[in-house]
Chains A and B, each alone.
Chain A
């Protein structure tokens, strides 16, 4: 497992709608459209990876996209940068199980006792790469769904599904929900200093103020727990 060595692995995502604050928080650099190869008129962001290799990131990104695909209901996991969220969570204290009681003995128990396994989230993902298989990215969407269905009851898949929802709807400070794509899809406005004058004004009708991220609201950088030392 590579760690803290100078990383050259990146993932690229469209820069559209990403605020300067988020770019700074992700340590991302802009790739301007190359006039020479004007295949894409868009600006891209090069986001350094913390845990995944570029290949692993592509694999997880493809799997997340099947869990939360871009479709008529709105953007998908890829557009929202879910894999960036997961990468940062796995690299941080959560990935190393710093929030869980991890003393032995590990015993199997009933669901009422929650996850009792020894493996931390990083190890569960490592096992997951093998379950998905290297060829996963080049399968058709139908084949990918069949593959995921076959591992649906694994801890890895359950975790991946949970993390996909988190990465889709987290505050952008955590790397996911890029451009607040997830929040816009469901009409969630993000944090606010007050709804006092609104709470009793919109009975039975949609009230959908445009979303604001936490950094936009408070006007200064906010670091997530994934940035804390492991």
Chain B
């Protein structure tokens, strides 16, 4: 194996977190920083050619190919896992910028108690369910608020504040934790679907507010001096890279700065296989380059920022820490696997007039927090946490994905002239049932480890996910679908559309139908898989300390939502970047001065 010259910092993964950390290090220190990114280099000017549903929407051109690497899944520890051969309930990114290049731009903050959820729930209920692994993060809202604000400024988030330093502002999210500032940019324009949803929610006495969005409403210059234009509502949004850079992407907000710093380099086509460590210190990483050559890259500090499943897999492959065993509840690596609890009203609304849904962005519309956290939840609902409802975004409006959205059973067959005629008539006239996204709490049964059978192109074991919905999530579904139906009924009244209950929009044909409410690894949920290397304030109970530093290996740091003990109703990237700023401050201001364990 070839051994290269040592660098000060090696960063594994050149996506949102890795490049943000690189930017902080490159601009604030003179350290020599190398990012290893397995995927290709990308630049914003490539993206204009990307407004194409076949290559991007269907063949996932921006994503990491499952042919190279995937995960296996099983519902419980009693079963043998099978590989997810094509995506899938989540879609990992690849290439410079990672999934940050093609996110949907929904830029929520978590509720303030979320960072101390264990303490909060214990205080509220006296005890937790037996198999719950809910944990505190090791810091609180007041510690993180300014870092969230830095992340929002970096991205230029559009929205309307509902609570500025305790002052409640109607029109914004009045349930949110205090924020120090109004959003950097105002809410976006409204599409018709959004206008109707707003009215439908208001008529039920709820408090809809504009979905905070990274797909910015107006031209904006961030504190680093990076300028971006306002969104063009082109509709080729989530899953596509933005052709004008209205969405903040690592290639448009971080790379231009990094390119000006000669102490930073990024090496593409470098797939890291192991963290090499000895006597409690990381020595460097090994990777395979584009020519297939195996290379050792020594470094003084190793930072893993390869996204949840890859970060956790690298720990397991490198034999760092004890893998979690749900039977004994021992071991830490791989525990607290969560996704997000997502459902919608099983209904659709058919309108006489078209929605013009091709004009949209995937962060558009309104959100409702009246049932987020423990707001509005009754003991009889039987759940610890709720979530948010939303409507107005038509991100699935492209023709291949949405042709054929007609009430199931409306035509005898889902092909042929009758079906085609009805599908063409209803194209762009259908609104699906209102959607819900809820907190997903960690349970003992849900975890990650290495698969005993299936391997990647290098012969390394795939990550195995053991994941299914528990009774708690089933009750969240019951609760959410009931409220979502009320919203959908209200929307039908407001819009004058025809409500069709039962069965959502039927789209892809399936040989057999998935069981309702089982974890469905074959259909897209979100790319918000979390946990596996959680942070916390005690070395016996978490992999990372509250600054994302490894408890046992102080020169190993990990970034991203692998560190999050539980999964929120809110989308994660604002918090992921906020926590990355927090980690960067700790690394630069504390660790570099005293290179040892911080806590």
A positions within 8 Å CB-CB of B: 66-69, 71-74, 76, 94, 97-103, 105, 107, 109-116, 145, 148-149, 152-153, 155, 158, 161-162, 164-166, 168-171, 173-174, 182-183, 185-189, 191-196, 198-200, 202-207, 214, 217-218, 222, 224-225
B positions within 8 Å CB-CB of A: 48-49, 51-55, 58-61, 65-67, 70, 73, 80, 82-86, 88, 189-192, 195, 230-236, 243-244, 353-354, 356, 358-360, 399-400, 403-404, 413-417, 420-421, 424-425, 427-428, 453-455, 508-515, 518-522
Q: Which residues of chain B are near A224, meaning CB under 8 Å? A: 52, 54-55
Known pairs A71-B420, A165-B403, A188-B358; A103 contacts B511 (CB<8 A)? no
Cross-chain contact A200 with B189 (CB below 8 angstroms): yes
Q: Specify the chain A residue showing the minimal Cβ separation from B415.
A: A67
Known: A191-B51, A195-B359, A207-B354. 7 other contacts (CB 8 A): A73-B420, A152-B413, A155-B511, A165-B404, A193-B244, A214-B52, A222-B52
Cross-chain contact A196 with B85 (CB below 8 angstroms): no
Cross-chain contact A188 with B399 (CB below 8 angstroms): yes
Q: How far is the CA of A191 from the CA of B236 in the complex (A)?
A: 8
Q: Specify the chain A residue showing the minimal Cβ separation from B195.
A: A203
Known pairs A105-B453, A193-B243, A225-B59; A218 contacts B49 (CB<8 A)? yes
How many A-B pairs fall under 8 Å by CB? Answer: 198
Cross-chain contact B415 with A148 (CB below 8 angstroms): yes
Q: Which residues of chain A are near B399, meaning CB under 8 Å? A: 169, 182-183, 186, 188
Cross-chain contact A170 with B416 (CB below 8 angstroms): no
Chain B proximity of A32: nearest CB distance (Å): 31
Cross-chain contact A69 with B416 (CB below 8 angstroms): yes
Cross-chain contact B192 with A204 (CB below 8 angstroms): yes
Cross-chain contact B416 with A169 (CB below 8 angstroms): no
Q: How far is the CA of A98 from the CA of B85 in the complex (A)?
A: 11
**5 A–B pairs (Cβ distance < 8 Å), ordered by A:** A102-B85, A166-B54, A170-B54, A199-B359, A206-B354
Q: Which residues of chain B are near A72, meaning CB under 8 Å? A: 421
Cross-chain contact B85 with A195 (CB below 8 angstroms): no
Q: Specify the chain A residue showing the minimal Cβ separation from B240.
A: A191
Q: How far is the CA of A164 from the CA of B400 in the complex (A)?
A: 10
Chain A proximity of B150: nearest CB distance (Å): 28
Contact of B511 among A111, A183, A185, A206 (CB under 8 A): A111
Cross-chain contact A170 with B400 (CB below 8 angstroms): yes
Q: How far is the CA of A94 from the CA of B61 in the complex (A)?
A: 12
Known pairs A73-B425, A165-B403, A222-B49; A101 contacts B508 (CB<8 A)? no
**Which of the listed residues A107, A110, A158, A193 has the most CB atoms from chain B within 10 Å of its own CB?**
A110
Q: Which residues of chain B are near A169, meaning CB under 8 Å? A: 53, 399-400, 403
Chain A proximity of B364: nearest CB distance (Å): 9
Cross-chain contact B522 with A114 (CB below 8 angstroms): yes
Q: Which residues of chain A are near B416, meaning CB under 8 Å? A: 66-67, 69, 145
Cross-chain contact B520 with A99 (CB below 8 angstroms): no
Q: Specify the chain B residue showing the minimal Cβ separation from A218.
A: B48
Known pairs A99-B66, A214-B49; A149 contacts B234 (CB<8 A)? no
Cross-chain contact B233 with A199 (CB below 8 angstroms): yes
Cross-chain contact B67 with A166 (CB below 8 angstroms): no
Closest 10 CB pairs of A and B: A191-B51, A114-B522, A194-B232, A169-B399, A195-B359, A73-B421, A186-B427, A203-B192, A199-B359, A67-B415
Q: How far is the CA of A191 from the CA of B67 in the complex (A)?
A: 29
Cross-chain contact A69 with B420 (CB below 8 angstroms): yes
Contact of A194 among B54, B190, B233, B425 (CB under 8 A): B233
Chain A proximity of B415: nearest CB distance (Å): 4
Cross-chain contact A112 with B514 (CB below 8 angstroms): yes
Contact of A114 among B88, B356, B428 (CB under 8 A): B88
Contact of A206 among B49, B356, B415, B421 (CB under 8 A): B356
Q: Which residues of chain A are near B520, meaning CB under 8 Å? A: 112
Q: Specify the chain A residue showing the minimal Cβ separation from B356.
A: A207
Q: How far is the CA of A224 from the CA of B54 in the complex (A)?
A: 8
Q: Which residues of chain B are near A192, meaning CB under 8 Å? A: 232, 234
Q: Which residues of chain A are near B508, meaning CB under 8 Å? A: 162
Cross-chain contact A100 with B67 (CB below 8 angstroms): yes
Q: How far is the CA of A161 from the CA of B417 in the complex (A)?
A: 13
Cross-chain contact B86 with A114 (CB below 8 angstroms): yes
Chain B proximity of A151: nearest CB distance (Å): 12
Q: Specify the chain B residue showing the minimal Cβ separation from A64.
A: B415
Cross-chain contact B415 with A103 (CB below 8 angstroms): no
Q: Which residues of chain B are near A164, meaning CB under 8 Å? A: 415
Q: How far is the CA of A166 from the CA of B424 in the complex (A)?
A: 14
Q: Which residues of chain A are near B82, meaning CB under 8 Å? A: 107, 109, 113, 116
Cross-chain contact A195 with B235 (CB below 8 angstroms): yes
Known pairs A100-B66, A103-B455, A186-B424; A112 contacts B54 (CB<8 A)? no
Cross-chain contact B70 with A101 (CB below 8 angstroms): yes
Contact of A68 among B236, B354, B420 (CB under 8 A): B420
Q: Specify the chain B residue showing the minimal Cβ separation from A168.
A: B403
Known pairs A69-B417, A100-B85, A207-B356; A165 contacts B55 (CB<8 A)? no
Q: How far is the CA of A169 from the CA of B423 in the complex (A)?
A: 13
Known pairs A185-B424, A214-B52, A224-B55; A161 contacts B509 (CB<8 A)? yes
Cross-chain contact A171 with B52 (CB below 8 angstroms): yes
Q: Which residues of chain A are near B413, meaning CB under 8 Å? A: 149, 152
Chain A proximity of B237: nearest CB distance (Å): 12
Cross-chain contact B428 with A187 (CB below 8 angstroms): yes
